Amino acid sequence: MGLHLADYFVTEAGFGSELGAEKFFDIVCRTGNLIPDAVVLVVSIKALKRHGAGTDRTALLKGFVNLEKHLENIAWFQIPVIVAINQFPDDTNDEFD
């Protein structure tokens, strides 16, 4: 219905490329004969640190391995991807750099 009511339609597919995105592409897009124009993958500094098994800059850098895997999963569908960072007050400029 949203596709018929607006020029742009944004949907949230759920957590993670291995869960929400794959279900969206494999089920919703195939059933509805849809081809998305882009994927927005939202990450946070806190999540990257957790995936890096820590709370410091080293853990943040290690967490990029997880982000890379999500990007690899999405690349399988050949849809352009944008990485957005969900910023929180505790995040530092150093972490963003």
The full set of domain ranges for the chain reads 38-97
Read off the pLDDT of residues 42-70 as tens digits, 9 standing for 90 and up.
999 999 999 999 999 999 999 999 999 99
* Cα(54)–Cα(82) distance, integer angstroms: 26
Read off the pLDDT of residues 4-27 as tens digits, 9 standing for 90 and up.
898 888 888 777 787 888 888 999
* Cα(10)–Cα(36) distance, integer angstroms: 9
Read off the pLDDT of residues 76-97 as tens digits, 9 standing for 90 and up.
999 999 999 999 999 999 998 8
DSSP code per residue over the chain: -HHHH-S-------SIIIIIIHHIIIIIIHHHT---S-EEEEE-HHHHHHHTTSSSHHHHHHHHHHHHHHHHHHHTTT--EEEEE---TT--HHHH-
